[in-house]
Structure 1
Amino acid sequence: MKGFKDFVMQGNVIDLAVGVVIGSAFTALITAFVENLIQPVINVFGGSNVDGLSFKIIQANEATRIDVGGVLSAIIAFLITAAVVYFVFVLPISAARRLDRKRRGLPEEEETSVSEDIVLLTEIRDALTVQQGGTAQPGGPVQPGGPTPQV
């Protein structure tokens, strides 16, 4: 039970729970905004069609209705949600982390470049070759030698 208690009391779990609750409430807000304000505006472009921007493939069959306005509303809801999450949460938190690292005198976080990855993989390959009895020149071709590994 102690391990479970430690897990639950970690900051990450609490942060995740708060994020899920706020995300659910925010989703309901955006859904209401799009359904009650954006969807009617999109339906205006449907002209005199009572259903807005939708049509039936087979007129007598309601199950064949294609609702273009609903899809556009979902896309708008996604874009609004993504923009708010980015500008309200991601951008300020990233700036705060950079500021905190700067204040503590730590170097800026840098992404590992592809060339550093290749150098590291080459060093690992050379070390494995030497370990198996071959010879390797740093950055050069591998000279196989010694026993062949059994597969």
Structure 2
Amino acid sequence: MCYESDYGKTDSYRIEKRYIHKNGSMVWADLSVTGIRDKDNNIVKLIGAGFDITERKHAETRLRQSEENLKEAQHIGNVGHWEYDPICSKLFWSDQMFRIYGLSPDSFTPTYDSVVALFHPDDRRWWKMRSANRLWTKQNSR
């Protein structure tokens, strides 16, 4: 967005916009314009650049569609997925994982300990030993 500034400073504007190419296809562009001001704070020069981002926009659309397809397939099959980052100790659950366990993302934060607590008591010790063994094996194979 444009704003008033001191001499020599710039005002910038950036937008992603769709255009219709002369061949009739839709083209996406990332446009940016920068204004250069003089000592009286008047814009004396505009510098503009435009980049074709059509492929990026198509890739973003395909990714969103793929994510929606995965969510739908998990819902239909009653299958969820999770990811764990042991370095950051961060655990991510898909929406379907919350449904399977009857939990709400607003009231339950999946952590290693909170998820292990959901296991049957007979399985907790086995899971902890298996997890420790995997971590030990990976650390010593480096």
Larger Rg: 1
Q: Scaled by the length of structure 2, what TM-score is found?
A: 0.25
**Larger helix share, 1 or 2:** 1
**Larger strand share, 1 or 2:** 2
**Greater RCO (CA < 8 Å, at least 6 residues apart):** 2
